[in-house]
């Protein structure tokens, strides 16, 4: 294989990969729009800023805990805080946390399946 053919092959592979990422993102957004259900999620871990800053979070669907993560800035977020989450009714692993929608209403948090212990351990403001 010549260098020109190799470069062309690498270019095609990278282009296919980029198109796949775009396609997957569009399908993800469309599924949340079509089948999205709102609930409350709890931040369970803050990821370091060295490679990929973000958070891990959990939420409850029909009594079962679902875990996910999100590549968001962790500057103003604290472990144990609660935020709005929208997940797909078809596949709860297709979900998105909205860190601009903090939830502090303890009644709503309890209705979302979290325990009183989760509320007691919420960060104090």
pLDDT in tens, 35-86: 999 999 999 998 876 667 889 999 999 989 999 999 887 778 889 999 999 9
Split into its structural domains, the chain has a count of 1
> Which CATH number is 66's domain given?
2.40.50
31 domain residue, yes or no? no
In a domain, 27, yes or no: no
Rounded CA-CA distance 108/29 in Å is: 26
Residue 5 within any structural domain of the chain: no
Classify residue 26: in a domain, yes or no: no
Rounding to the nearest 10 degrees, give the CA dihedral for residues 23, 42, 69, 48.
Answer: 140
Domain for residue 1, yes or no? no
Tell whether 43 is covered by a domain. yes
- Domain membership of residue 44 (yes or no) is yes
61/114 Cα distance (integer angstroms): 11
Question: What share of the chain in percent tops pLDDT 70?
Answer: 95
- In this structure, is residue 11 part of a structural domain? no
Q: Which domain holds residue 93?
A: 36-120
């Amino acid at each position: 294989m010549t260098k020109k053919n190799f470069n062309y092959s690498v270019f095609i592979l990278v282009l296919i990969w980029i198109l796949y990422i775009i396609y997957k993102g569009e399908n993800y957004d469309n599924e949340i729009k079509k089948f999205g259900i709102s609930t409350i999620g709890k931040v369970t871990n803050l990821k370091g800023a060295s490679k990929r800053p973000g958070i891990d979070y959990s939420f409850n669907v029909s009594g079962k805990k679902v875990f996910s993560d999100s590549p968001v800035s962790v500057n103003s977020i604290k472990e144990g805080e609660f935020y709005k989450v929208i997940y797909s009714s078809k596949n709860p692993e297709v979900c998105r946390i909205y860190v601009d929608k903090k939830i502090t209403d303890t009644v709503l948090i309890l209705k979302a399946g979290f325990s009183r212990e989760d509320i007691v351990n919420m960060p104090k403001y």
